[in-house]
Chain A
Amino acid sequence: MIAGALRDIVIVGAGQGGFQAAASLRQEGFTGSVTLIGTEADLPYQRPPLSKAFLKSGNADQLWLRRADFYEKNAITLVPDCRVNRIDRDNSTVYAGDRRFRYDHLILATGCRNARPPIQGLERALDLRTLSDARRLRTAAARARRCAVIGGGFIGLEFAAVAAGLGLDVIVAEQASRLMARAVSPEISARFADKHRGLNVDIRVGKSAAAIDDAGLHLADGSTVAADLVLLAAGVVPNAELAAEAGLIVENGIVVDEQLRTSDPNISALGDCAAFPMHDRGFRVRLESVQAATDHARHIARRLTKGDAGPYSAVPWFWSDQADWKLQIAGFAQPDDESEMLEDGSVLRFSGARLTAVETINAPKLHMKARRLFAETPAPTRAEALARLDVEERRRMAAGA
């Protein structure tokens, strides 16, 4: 695909990834039209602070990715409050009700929405995904005394830390046997469980929610947790229906190749909704992170303007702020990858002899070293990892490792 052939690029989804795709297309010198369509009324904004700084401050001015005049200056047509409901691939057109947008290339950045497990009275629970969710949650938290959080993942735990800091009673019910089980090692899960208990958060693992009513949250084991605020934070599902209905391949998200193209080469997908091949690892993943959204966006923009961007191979990284702890993850580990705890409490993850991720708490130096290691060494061995990360001096492994 060459730049000259593309005139109109349409981006569906105006979150961090959609925004970045639009901005990067202009940075790369794309001169055709760029249309950025989002379902929300506000300007594109950052989501990570919604469960952190915004919950405390309520200040939305700090959230906008750019001010309104940025879109004008860069000739990006921002279409807010608009839900695309159909892709007509034969005519290269997307439809939103009676509005239509023709494209030469389409970028799907539709993100995720909260998973809604079968819990009776679930409509009483609040969500924390969008800015309007966060505004509603702030108002409710100001009136609440006891919060129950369904789900001990990043969002649930970040909220729990803020709510505990506001002096509320908080309980977190996690269905799995440990916190953040999909994303971190058992060792890091355990450290965070202790941390939250130290904040007076009542952490209950292996507990699924059954019903919500006036009394609060009822767990499947028959116990009841008194609560005047229930937050649903039980994971997300990718918004992939639009792609599936258009006949694109969907399997835990919109399937893309190493160029981030869907099964239709005129359509790319990025960020939370895209299942992409993890470079050199032989499997596909879907990552819910700012890093994946922005790195995907830049890669697609480069390919569309320069014709080729090579295979996508950016190093995944992630962070979560919970009270005064900053968790940072470099690389990508699968839940059953082995783990080794270092003396300072950081954890190295391995798949066989290969280092797959480094998990740290309040250790930015080690985190950045790990990112650099992954960027420079495609498949670091245990020996390389230990040498490059200066593990010698903190070599004492956790008991039993």
Chain B
Amino acid sequence: MVQITFVQPDGNRTTIDAAIGDSVMQTALANGVDGIFAECGGAMMCATCHCYVDEAWAGRTGKREDGEEDMLECAASEMRETSRLSCQLKVSQDIDGLVVHLPEEQA
């Protein structure tokens, strides 16, 4: 198991034991973390699973996928350097302890 921490816009933190191979988006949905909608189910179609990777993890979660940036530019909350679609972040041993921040709005 790999631990992932979700930080709500109000600072509230939830740490989840995530299953390797799931996406961060699936981890959030499966554990009832508020703030991830994921309407298209991970098809990179909706930008409603937007998250900000914690600065401490910058550069350690891989690069954005093809097309991901275009979707992020249209996300409901502003795109930052650290923005990712959580459906494209795969849970692996390498990201044990990952902290992601959730945006104010998803849709």
A111-143 interface bits toward B, Cβ cutoff 8 Å, 1 = contact, 0 = none: 000000000000000000000000000000000
**B107 lies within 8 A of A298 (CB):** yes
Contact mask A285-326 → B, CB, 8 Å, 1/0? 000001100100010000000000000000001010100001
User: What is the CB-to-nearest-CB distance from B48 to chain A, in angstroms, rounded to a whole number?
Assistant: 9
Among B7-15, B49-57, B65-73, the one that faces the other chain is: B65-73
A328 CB–B CB distance under 8 Å? yes
In this complex, what residue of B is CB-closest to A366?
A: B70
Contact indicator A364/B70 (Cβ below 8 Å): yes
- CA A311 – CA B47 in complex, angstroms? 24
How far apart are B25's CB and chain A's nearest CB, in angstroms? 11
Across the interface, A48 reaches (CB within 8 A) one of B26, B29, B41, B107, namely B41
Partner of A364, one of B31, B41, B42, B44: B44
Within residues 18 to 52 of chain B, which ones have a CB less than 8 A from any CB in chain A?
26, 29-32, 39-45, 47
A312 and B31 CA atoms in complex are apart in Å by 31
Which residues of B lie under 8 Å from residue A326 when comparing CB positions?
43
Given A66-B29, A66-B32, A67-B30, A319 and B67 contact (CB-CB distance below 8 Å):
no
Query: Are B39 and A290 in contact, CB atoms less than 8 angstroms apart?
Result: yes
Query: Are A48 and B32 also in contact (CB < 8 A) when A364-B67, A364-B71 are?
Result: no
Whether A73 is near chain B, meaning CB under 8 Å from some CB there, is yes
Q: Which residue in B30, B31, B40, B44 is a CB contact (below 8 Å) of A290? A: B40
Cα A69 to Cα B32 in complex, Å, equals: 8
Q: Is A396 an interface residue (CB 8 A)?
A: no
Contacts of B26 in A (CB 8 A): 62
Measured between beta carbons, the chain A residues less than 8 angstroms from B70 are: 364-365, 367-368
User: Which of B39, B40, B45 has the most chain A CB atoms closer than 10 A to its own CB?
Assistant: B45
Task: Please tell me the size bucket of the interface on A.
Answer: 20 to 34
Q: How large is the interface on B (under 10, 10 to 19, 20 to 34, 35 or more residues)?
A: 10 to 19
Q: Which residue of A lies closest to B19 (CB)?
A: A61
Cα-based distance from A65 to B26 in the complex (angstroms): 10
Name which residue of chain A comes closest to B67, CB basis.
A364
The answer to the question of A218 belonging to the interface, with a C-beta cut-off of 8 Å to chain B, is: no
- Residues from chain A with a CB closer than 8 A to the CB of B32 are 66-67, 69-70, 73
Residues of B close to A73: CB separation below 8 A: 32
The answer for the CA separation of A335 and B41 in the assembled complex, in Å, is 28
Does B58 reach chain A (CB closer than 8 Å)?
no
**Do residues B74 and A321 form an inter-chain contact, with CB atoms below 8 A?**
no
With an 8 A cutoff between CB atoms, is A345 at the interface? no
By a CB distance below 8 angstroms, the chain A residues around B31 are 67
| Chain A residues closer than 8 Å to B107, beta-carbon distance | 298
Which of A46, A298, A365 is the one whose CB lies under 8 Å from B41? A46
Question: Across the interface, which residues of A come within 8 angstroms of B41, CB to CB?
Answer: 46, 48-49, 62-63
Whether B45 pairs with A319 at a CB distance below 8 angstroms is yes
**B43 touching A319, Cβ below 8 Å:** yes
A191 → B minimal CB distance (Å):
19
Q: How far is the CB of B70 from chain A (nearest CB, A)?
A: 4
A220-263 toward B: CB 8 Å interface, digit per residue (1/0)? 00000000000000000000000000000000000000000000
CB distance from A34 to the nearest CB of B (A): 16
16 A-B residue pairs with Cβ-Cβ distance under 8 Å, sorted by A, are: A62-B26, A66-B30, A66-B32, A67-B30, A290-B40, A298-B107, A317-B45, A319-B40, A319-B43, A319-B45, A321-B43, A326-B43, A364-B44, A364-B71, A365-B67, A371-B74
